[in-house]
């Protein structure tokens, strides 16, 4: 077993939901050891949070962490960036330029301009860059992607993707909600940036298709909200497939209801995040088939990112951990100067750019009364 990868973390202090998720995800398969952190932009909170976690090395800010860790003999090899969006680039840059691999939360940045700078920083760096579009870590999403790639659906015609939630139905005072509804920290997209990017990425990941143009109708239903909390988007994919994307933070009764349906001339696939161990395959003219994780009909693409037998549900944290473990495979291969196995799959900078272009296109289209806009602009 290869030595565990020494990991640092930027952001993810005491109350942050997503920081704890990243830490569990990194730990689950025992491929990382968290040894350093600058867990908050407020130095006192950064220190308190780092100590509460018992981190060996605690920093006041990401810059000093990057500088010092790069000099240590046993300094971090990778860093997880789990801050609000507007800080992703500034933090990532410091690590990338010092050859430290970056595992960054999505969306890539808060602005398109920063996204482009991030792409250049990644290009200029010897280090790897990973983006945690975690839903692609679910085994049955991998299974779906494999089936599409193998032509089981024939040519794709229709892609329906949706991601409704309800947690911003009212104007409430969550910490999580606060920065996500603030354009300065979140960027131009509200629901489109926070969850629409996941939906967009999932649709492209499974279908293997890029969105060529879209028409978006964005709304802020809650009075006083600066960013969209609901978006309806019509999609046109390369090759002629059409689709729809709906994301919402104001749809009561929807918790985290990401759902993808893809239809081709030979069959359909349906997957829902809240029941992630199931994949419906509906070949045209044959009985509907329910494929379960590690069950009959599930293939190697799913099995290699699964841990327990069929019927023992794996969930959100396991899917997230799969991205960390895939990143570890790539980091270890990089450490060894070899290529990772071709099946190792983790979203990266290209996915991040596509996501930012998606948000940008939604905002531009909506500002022009849902006119069609081309991607990338």
**In the block, residue with structure tokens 């860790």:** 69
Rounded CA-CA distance 142/344 in Å is 11
DSSP conformation class of 375 = S
* Least distance from its own copies to the Cβ atom of residue 20, Å: 7
Q: How far is CA 96 from CA 91, 106, 118, 375, in A?
A: 9, 17, 9, 27
Q: Give the C-alpha separation, 308 to 331, whole Å.
A: 25
Check whether the bond before 236 is cis (ω within 30° of 0).
no
Task: Supply the minimum distance, in Å, between the C-beta of residue 288 and its own copies.
Answer: 4
State which residue, 123 or 155, has the beta carbon closest to its own copies. 155
Q: What one-character-per-residue DSSP string does 251-279 give?
A: -TT-SS--EEEEEETTEEEEEETTSTTEE
β-strand partners of 43: none
State how far the Cα of 268 lies from the Cα of 284, in Å rounded to an integer. Answer: 8
In the bound state with its own copies, the residue whose beta carbon lies nearer, of 3 and 42, is 3
Q: Are 249 and 190 in contact (CB under 8 A)?
A: yes
CB of 137 to its own copies, least distance (A): 13
CB of 232 to its own copies, least distance (A): 5
Rounded to an integer, what distance in angstroms lies between the CA atom of residue 340 and that of residue 329?
A: 6
As measured in angstroms, the least distance from the Cβ of 220 to its own copies is 11
Helices (H), 175-286: 175-180, 183-186, 191, 197-207
CB of 255 to its own copies, least distance (A): 3
Which of 213, 205, 198 has the alpha carbon at shortest distance from 248?
198
- CB–CB of 46/61 below 8 Å? yes
In the complex, the smallest distance separating the C-beta of residue 290 from its own copies, rounded to whole angstroms, is 4
Strands (E), 39-121: 57-58, 78-81, 101-104
Triad 366, 134, 325: Cα angle to 5° = 155
Shortest distance, CB of residue 59 to its own copies, whole angstroms?
Answer: 18
- Rank residues 31 and 101 by Cβ distance to its own copies and give the closer one: 31
Please say which residue, 124 or 371, places its beta carbon nearer to its own copies: 371
Cis status, amide bond into 376, omega within 30 of 0:
yes
Residue with smaller CB distance to its own copies, 125 or 248: 248
Nearer to its own copies, 27 or 185 (CB): 27
- For its own copies, give the closer residue by CB, 264 or 352: 264
* Residue 69 C-beta: closest distance to its own copies, Å: 21
Judged by beta carbon, residue 49 or residue 110, the one nearer its own copies is 49
Give whichever of 99 and 151 is closer to its own copies, judged by the CB atom.
151
């Amino acid at each position: 077993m290869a030595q565990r990868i020494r990991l640092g973390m930027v952001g993810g202090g005491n109350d942050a939901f997503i920081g704890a998720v990243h830490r569990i995800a990194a730990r689950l398969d025992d491929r990382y050891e968290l040894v350093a952190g600058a867990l908050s932009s407020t130095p006192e909170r950064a220190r308190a949070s780092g100590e509460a976690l018992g981190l060996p090395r605690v920093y006041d800010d990401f810059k000093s962490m990057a500088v010092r860790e790069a000099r240590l003999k046993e300094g971090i090899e990778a860093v997880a960036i789990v801050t609000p969006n507007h800080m992703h680039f500034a933090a990532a840059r410091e690590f990338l330029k010092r050859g430290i691999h970056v595992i960054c939360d999505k969306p890539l940045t808060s602005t398109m301009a920063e996204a482009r700078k991030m792409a250049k920083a990644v290009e200029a760096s010897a280090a790897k860059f990973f983006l945690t579009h975690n839903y692609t870590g679910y085994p049955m999403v991998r299974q779906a992607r494999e089936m599409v790639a193998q032509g089981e659906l024939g040519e794709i015609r229709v892609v329906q993707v949706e991601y409704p939630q309800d947690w911003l139905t009212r104007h409430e005072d969550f910490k999580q909600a606060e920065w996500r509804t603030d354009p300065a920290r979140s960027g131009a997209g509200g629901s489109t940036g926070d969850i629409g990017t996941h939906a967009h990425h999932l649709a492209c990941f499974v279908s293997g298709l890029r969105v060529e143009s879209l028409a978006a109708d964005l709304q802020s239903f809650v009075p006083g909200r600066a960013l969209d909390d609901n978006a309806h988007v019509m999609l046109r994919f390369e090759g002629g497939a059409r689709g729809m994307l709906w994301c919402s933070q104001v749809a009561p009764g929807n918790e985290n209801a990401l759902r993808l349906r893809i239809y081709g001339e030979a069959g359909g696939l349906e997957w829902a995040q809240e029941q992630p161990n199931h994949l419906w395959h509906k070949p045209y003219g044959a009985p509907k088939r329910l494929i379960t994780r590690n069950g009959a009909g599930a293939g190697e693409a799913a099995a290699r990112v699964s841990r327990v037998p069929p019927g023992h549900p794996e969930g959100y944290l396991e899917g997230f951990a799969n991205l960390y473990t895939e990143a570890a495979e790539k980091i270890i291969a990089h450490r060894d100067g070899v290529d990772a196995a071709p099946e190792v799959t983790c979203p990266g900078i290209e996915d991040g750019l596509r996501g930012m272009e998606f948000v940008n296109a939604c905002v531009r289209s909506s500002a022009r009364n849902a006119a069609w806009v081309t991607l990338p602009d």
